[in-house]
Structure 1
């Protein structure tokens, strides 16, 4: 019987404002099977609506660049209402569980490896005494684009005219956070976690053709050092209030009296500016 831990992880907000064509320069052998030109929302993409998003997947001997829906669809759940509820929580997965729990759905999908191209990711930091969490944008130093490892699923469904169609969906892998990310993602039941950030070499290795469970464990054990990431505060991620200066969501926004990372206590006479 397949089991799955339906737990909230962390990363539901990413940014892809870099040119998606960079993927073809970094992975020159990738086969482009996109149906249309992809412009996935630019400075902010949220998983909750299961958006179609470009990923690189290992399919047999081929690397394929195609659109899949973000959040693995739990096709084993027959009740449509429960299926949608569970799917919202399947945008990411704990890397520790993939190989550890052989009854899990992720173990079943472990050979379906993919890479998720992003310019950066978003996370929120709690500060004692502040009414709202402070949003941060995190990106790789000296890189225009990075590729986060994930797992994908392909399944057949029936189209609107009765034809069989193949639908792909994917989830992002997470791990315990490095110091920088632990200081940002510092609150909530699953605080101190981050996406499984990799080096360019490990990204290539993740989608290599000959890849064993031991190789997967070695990748899961890797923790990207904090000094290979940059981060700054931003105005808002999901908020409906427009940014006053009209700049993209990933651009720096200054907060007065913001305590330094690692110190989450309110400074004297400090107020959150939201």
Structure 2
């Protein structure tokens, strides 16, 4: 995968509006913290990101052999059978209710599951009478990095390039999220990580049982500035509470 190719894809998937589900998140914990949290090797050179948007390259965690390892993937899953990479823009999220049957996701759901690490995510709240939605940042109450349930796929372009891409699974909002948005990413509890990553587990019912709203009492949220609306803004200011 070349830098030029990802630049082309980013142009095709230019992020023009806030996505109606999970369309932005942040990952800013130290590499050593992430390695401890997820039981992986430390990744040299990992930089803090406060406004990660679709079409960008993001970190995923998957099982390779008997170990969890970090990898990078394009955010916007491109099914292996796709003729055009542009399909990936509409595949940044997979609905928990249909992920096992939808053609774009069902093979990955059976065979290529991953964790997507994050320190928190953003959602936009529609306010009565307001033209602009209010962005919120949502994190775990203990401020530990969280793990979204993810899928990944490998696609070969017509030119022969191998592109790895991914999607975040979303589900119904919990009580904390409901006043903000009707959907939220599936956050997996640490005790469920090994089950989700198990390469030979394909029991759909067992996997679907994991795709539940995270306990709201273990989460927190606060309103932030509309600076996050533009993916060009990628600094700690994006997560600061707004006045």
What is the TM-score of this pair, normalised by structure 2?
Answer: 0.80
CA contact (8 A) 2:37 2:145 kept: no
Moved over 6 A (4+): 240-243
What is the SS of the residue equivalent to 2:97? helix
Instruction: Give the structure 1 partner of residue 78 of structure 2.
Output: 73
Structure 1 residues 202 and 195: CA distance shift in structure 2, 3 A: same
Instruction: Give the structure 1 partner of residue 59 of structure 2.
Output: 54
Instruction: Give the structure 2 partner of residue 132 of structure 1.
Output: 132
Shifted more, 122-131 versus 51-60: the winner is: 51-60
CA shift for structure 1 position 141: 1.0
Superposed, which structure 2 residues align to 1:16-35 within 5 Å? 16-28=27-39, 30=40
What is the SS of the residue equivalent to 2:229? coil
Instruction: Give the structure 2 partner of residue 106 of structure 1.
Output: 105
- C-alpha separation in 2, matches of 1:209 and 1:174: 21
Superposed, which structure 2 residues align to 1:150-165 within 5 Å? 150-157=150-157
Tell me how large the CA RMSD over aligned residues is: 2.7
CA shift for structure 1 position 224: 1.4
Q: How many residues align?
A: 222
CA contact (8 A) 1:127 1:133 kept: yes
Structure 1 residues 241 and 129: CA distance shift in structure 2, 3 A: farther
CA shift for structure 1 position 232: 0.3
- C-alpha separation in 2, matches of 1:177 and 1:240: 24
Matched, 1:12 2:3: no
- C-alpha separation in 1, matches of 2:76 and 2:240: 26
- C-alpha separation in 1, matches of 2:156 and 2:232: 40
Instruction: Give the structure 2 partner of residue 37 of structure 1.
Output: 45
CA contact (8 A) 2:79 2:154 kept: no
5+ residue gaps, structure 1: 1-7, 186-191, 255-274
CA contact (8 A) 2:80 2:156 kept: no
5+ residue gaps, structure 2: 1-18
CA shift for structure 1 position 37: 2.6
Structure with bigger gyration radius: 1
CA contact (8 A) 2:53 2:231 kept: no
How big is each residue's C-alpha offset from its partner over 1:212-246, in whole Å with a ceiling of 9 and x where there is no partner?
323202112x3212111100000121248979xx9
CA contact (8 A) 1:38 1:54 kept: no
What is the SS of the residue equivalent to 1:132? coil
What is the SS of the residue equivalent to 2:88? helix
CA shift for structure 1 position 74: 3.8
How big is each residue's C-alpha offset from its partner over 1:117-168, in whole Å with a ceiling of 9 and x where there is no partner?
1010000001111121111000011032111111000234587xxxx65321
What is the TM-score of this pair, normalised by structure 1?
Answer: 0.72
